[in-house]
Structure 1
Amino acid sequence: MIRSRLSGSLDEDALKLTSSLEHDRHIFKYDILVDYAHVLGLLKVGLITKEDAKRIFEALREVEKLGLERLSGEDVHEAIESKVVEIAKESGMKMHTARSRNDEIAACLRLFARDKIIEILSELLELRKTFIEKARQYFDCIMPGFTHLQYAQPTKLSHYLIAYHDAIRRDFDRGIEIFSRVNKSPLGAAAFASTPHELDREYVAQLLGFDGLVENTMDASASRDFLIESLFLSTSIMLNLSRFCEEIILWASEFDFVELPDEFSSSSSIMPQKKNPDVAEIIRAKAGKSVGYLASACTILKALPYAYNRDFQEMNSLLYVSMNECLLSVKTFRKMFSALKFKEEVMREKASKGLTLATDLADLLVRKGVPFRLSHKIVGSLVKKNRIPPSAEELIKEAESFGVKIEVSEDELKEWLDVEKSLERRKNVGGTAKEELERMIRERERKISEDEEKLKVLKSRIEERIKHLMNEVERVCSGKG
């Protein structure tokens, strides 16, 4: 433990309280990468010799093989550095030149968040594909729509699934935007005021696949909005998944709209007839935890003065857990949703339940020249009298009781209150008409292809940079550089 100006060792309980080693396994590989890049940066500007760099790299390789579980220290940074010094002796003591644990941990966290965002976005793309594939599969499936969880108007399952897709698509777009702010290098900031040693910050940033610098060195050390944004991304995704899971749970009960896949369900320990939606319920619960992680991180950050405070450490584990749980939840939800079977006959039968065509009846009166608010009252009166759907004669008489004269035939009324025709009349942008549903699906299939290419470019750029970093390390170790 680094205690240069302190005497004695840290109290045993204080060490337990302040140690982050238990959670640091999440950034062990990133700390090694940061060390590789930092040493190459020191070598480039002449702060260490090639022989020093070679010895440090060889020590870092041994540390990689050992793994964090075989190291000891207050945190991952100290544990790695201590072992490097033990192996590389005096050369190892030079590794931390022109660096603080402040910019080092910020870099590790950004690398972790960056990679997790890419993994999550990859899974979101697959989930988006699943929603659109299901929308095509159940293109003509008619079902009831709900407001306040009450039967409201008829709709189509394909329309429902496109709405699901669009919520996830916005999360994908958020992820791309957040990535652009996360993928900046804080290295070279040192504690917060930079260092008198001349560094090439851009060179080190490029080695690690960063897309630029957090320029102001105090901002680089003190900022944690990248962590908050990453937590928010996870939380937003989990909130959407939770809403979808709630529907699955409801639809698998009295609604009887879906058949749960066995591999994503459980049985009761006492009631043999039960098929429980455990996976959906656990994802729903994890969404609550994700909200808690975000709230905790915001509360920790809200009153911290610039620059570094040890409080930051308590935010790190929130990031690791939240993003990992989000990734697993998206992956599992996608597989569950893909295996879900919708009961088309049941959904169609219930599409007219609960007077779902009452609004259509009011719209028919509007077509006859009746102001909508008055037509709403006329239909509301028929509902009170339990005369929905009415005969043409009943509708005419009810309108007359409100001082309105209309003409309507039985055939016209029957056509207007036909569920399929009702859906086809909704031809506005984003509506339920077949032509509009087909257009929406095609547009989303095109956008998914574009987003796949966008993500592919991001991933390949980072992979190429990291490959170059490791080639530079190998060049130094082999004595070719």
Structure 2
Amino acid sequence: MTLHQEILLSDARLKSPAAARQLKYNELPKLQAERKKFNEFLAVDLAHTVMLVAQEIITRDAGRAILQQLLAIREIGGDDFPVDVRKGSFLLQMESYLFAAIGEEIGGQMHTGRSRIDQGATVRRLYQRNRMLDVMNQLNTLQAVIVEQAQKYSRTIMPGYTHMQQAQPWVFGHYLLSFSSRFHDSFERLTQAYARLNRNPLGTVGLAGTSWPLDRELTTRLLGFDGLVENSKLGREAFYAVDALSALSFVMADLNDLATDLHVWSTSEFGLVECDDSYCGTSSIFPQKKNPTALEYVRRAAGASVTWVSTALATFRGEGTGDQAMREAPILDEALATTEGMLDLFTGVMETLIVHEDRMTAALKQSWCTSSNLVDVIVRDRGLSFRQVHHIVARVVRNSLTESIAPYELTGAMVDRAAMETVGRAIGLSDRSVQAALSPREFVETRVTTGSVGPLEVQSLLAHAQEERACDVRWTSETRIRLTDANKALDCAVHRIV
């Protein structure tokens, strides 16, 4: 047997091979997680080897031999690449393949000037960077659907709620645009987290740097990083993950709030919206049931996201600054996968959402949610203070509910009666003025403040949402182009040597 077949990395230092339980519960799960990062492992090895050749740390012939085998590994693909859990991490699996092909004397030179610490940190950042871009792309897709639906329902009036009680007339498209704005804010948080994530730790080595003359700027360019992790002590740190988790948890909070509203409004008691059958389930005992299971699934996932940041901080705090093992915890990978999946699921919900405009209209007919507009009309026309008129209209509502009088039945005389009971003087509004003040359509069309539900303001919000989404799409596209260009530069550098 040759040397590489006889000695594993651990054999030189440890007396005993890894126990079966150690392999099952530690090494195997870690290796399975690393296999997902196959392309990122290869990119780091390729870039590092190119740099070693460029710096004349290894010979061009040695670099060529290593790079040829790395390209052969790339052809095999992550799913078919052979692994042996006894050999350890994916870095060591790659080395084992090289040693079998070109010997340890040549293949072993690839690890010159680096540690598994900075190599692993670089792989994780590359993988998480790519996954974050996937999340952002999915967020842009959901945004497009929300804006499309907001435009469709830009004149659809519905009751607006505070404390789960009807407060004022609202516009469903305006409601959706509020989430467009929130999702844009969340997108910006993701770009800020991306900026801290996309820094190159390769070359920080284990802790204190190295005596080898590494060109960290070269690997930064070849791997598409925006800059360096400057301090070698910080090569292993993963607090950027907390930034990313925070941004992702905001996205999940946005999804949760939208899902919760739609869930409530889809109940029989409200009946304002309805999920398409393809995003619902049924009951095994209640034959009439149509359960909005997609919304429930999103809300359940959002519940778990509340602990992402606290879990990461608690994990990092427990280890101090002197160890690295806990910083490899998969919480960020899991959060990225969850967020992307829930964005995709919700996109389907929103694409097929059924809006019952007739139920919204019917709910408004019996609603006193235009009362605040009646207050404004009386203040404007009769010169009383807002607080005085608030008392009057509150008594109007109380009297009407007691006597089963609907808003569309209210008269000027009834308003005068309430005014006499509260402020001691009549108002003198005509029946027509009272009914106009209580009209939901009149309410909406007389809103003039910036960002309100008035038709012109809704159109302005729509235009702004479209501009924000275009900006977000452009950012994602330009970032991916830069990464593609870096990948092409890496391939060119490899082939110049090969």
> 1:354 offset after TM fit, Å?
4.2
* Distance in structure 2 (CA, Å) of the matches to 1:403 and 1:235: 51
CA distance in 2, matches of 1:34, 1:443: 41
The AA in structure 1 aligned to 2:326 is D
Matched-pair contact (CA < 8 Å) for 2:395–2:422: no
Q: Does 1:459 align with 2:473?
A: no
Residue 59 of structure 2 aligns with an amino acid whose one-letter code is T
Contact 2:444 2:454 in 1 (8 A): yes
Letter in 2 for 1:100: S
Comparing 340-349 with 55-64, which one deviates more in the overlay?
55-64
Aligned pairs for 1:286-365 (under 5 A) are 286-313=301-328, 315=329, 317-365=330-378
- Structure 1 position 431 matched with structure 2 position 445: no
Give 1:417's match in structure 2, choosing from 431, 438, 461: 438
Measure the CA separation in 2 of the matches of 1:386 and 1:74.
77
CA-CA distance at 1:392 after TM superposition: 1.1
| Unaligned 5+ runs, structure 1 | none
Partner Cα separation in structure 2 for residue 403 and residue 253 of structure 1:
41
What is the SS of the residue equivalent to 1:273? coil
Which is further off, 463-472 or 300-309? Answer: 300-309
Aligned partners of 2:424, 2:136: CA distance in 1, in Å?
A: 57
**2:383 equivalent in structure 1:** 369
Deviation at 1:361, TM superposition (A): 2.4
- Aligned-residue sequence identity (percent) comes to 27
TM-score, normalised on structure 1?
Answer: 0.93
Provide the rounded CA distance (Å) in 2 between the counterparts of 1:365 and 1:302.
60
Once residues 16 and 291 of structure 1 are traced to their aligned partners in structure 2, the CA distance between those partners, rounded to angstroms, is 30
2:108 aligned partner: 93
Match of 2:38 in 1: 28
Report how many residues are paired. Answer: 474
Superimposed CA distance per residue, residues 427-461 of structure 1 (whole angstroms, 9 cap, x where no aligned partner): 10100110111111112212222322222111101
Q: Distance in 1 between matches of 2:248 and 2:323?
A: 25
Q: C-alpha displacement at 1:347, in angstroms?
A: 1.1
Aligned counterpart in structure 1 of residue 260 of structure 2, from 246, 258, 277: 246
Q: CA shift at 1:106, angstroms? A: 1.3
Query: 1:307 deviation in Å?
Result: 4.1
Aligned residue in 2 for 1:169? 184
Q: Which segment drifts farther, 439-448 or 454-463?
A: 439-448
1:71 aligns with 2:71: no
Deviates more, 1:172-181 or 1:374-383: 374-383
Q: What is the Cα-based RMSD across aligned positions, in Å?
A: 1.9
- How much does 1:403 deviate? 2.9
**Residue of structure 1 in register with 2:137 after alignment:** 122
The one-letter code matched in structure 1 to 2:418 is E
**TM-score between both structures, scaled by the size of structure 2:** 0.90
AA aligned opposite 2:417: K
Which is further off, 282-291 or 269-278?
A: 269-278
Give me the whole-angstrom Cα distance separating, in 1, the residues matched to 2:313 and 2:9.
30
2-structure distance, mates of 1:98, 1:429: 59
Name whichever of 446-455 and 277-286 sits farther off. 446-455
CA-CA distance at 1:30 after TM superposition: 0.7
Is 1:280 aligned to residue 300 of structure 2?
Answer: no
Choose from 59, 62, 70 the match for 1:52. 62
Counterpart of 1:445 (choices 451, 466, 478) is 466
Aligned partner letter, 1:323: L
Give the match's secondary structure for 2:37.
Answer: helix
Task: Give the distance between the partners of 2:232 and 2:55, measured in 1 at CA.
Answer: 19
Alignment map for 1:251-270 (pairs within 5 Å): 251-254=265-268, 255-270=270-285
- SS of aligned partner of 1:274: coil
Task: Quote the Cα distance in structure 2 between the aligned partners of 1:159 and 1:216.
Answer: 48
Separation in 2 of the partners of 1:235 and 1:458? 22
Moved more, 354-363 or 168-177: 354-363
- What code does the residue aligned with 1:84 have? L
> Is the Cα contact below 8 Å between 2:169 and 2:369 reproduced in 1?
yes
The question of whether the paired residues in 2 share the 8 Å contact of 1:113 and 1:230 is answered with no
Q: Which moved more, 1:380-389 or 1:455-464?
A: 380-389
Unmatched tracts of structure 2, length 5 or more: 1-7
Cα offset, 1:9, TM superposition? 2.0
2:414 pairs with 1:394:
yes
Equivalent AA in structure 1 for residue 243 of structure 2:
E
